[in-house]
Amino acid sequence: MTAGQVSDYKGAAALIDLLPKAEFLLADRGYDADWFRKALSNKDIKPCIPGRKSRKKPVKYDKRRYKRRNRIERMFGKLKDWRRISTRYDRGPNVFMSAIALAATVLFWL
């Protein structure tokens, strides 16, 4: 968990070594950084991240695969329907993740 004013890819730097084996990583423009792309490539993960608008040289990415990212966004939207998660009543990260796991399980079964 990072504070709201912390950049996305700075939070990802702490987790890059914990990433599971995967073929692709789907992320939004907030994760567009050359060092992040290189770190993913070192782990044999292909980044599917569109380049920021301020990039001078456009970055290639699989647009069809990137469009599937909306499934993840919809899942987060459904999780935010749970008031306990959207307002983050649980201050400890372990309890908060437990609430997310419980909500995700219920949503999966519905």
Residue 19 lies in a domain: yes
Selection from 104, 105, 88 nearest residue 96 by Cα: 88
Q: Look at residue 24 in the predicted model and tell me its pLDDT.
A: 92
Q: Do 44 and 81 belong to one domain?
A: no
Q: Do 15 and 51 belong to one domain?
A: yes
d(CA 40, CA 22): 10
Residue count of the chain: 110
Q: Is 83 exposed, middle or buried (0-12, 13-18, 19+ CB in 10 A)?
A: exposed
Q: Do 79 and 96 belong to one domain?
A: yes
Query: H or E segment at 98?
Result: helix 93-109
pTM for the predicted model, two decimal places: 0.68
Residue 2 lies in a domain: no
Residue 103 lies in a domain: yes
Is the pLDDT at 44 greater than 70? The verdict is yes
Which tens digit of pLDDT belongs to each residue from 48-105?
999 988 888 989 989 999 988 888 888 888 888 888 777 777 778 888 888 888 888 8
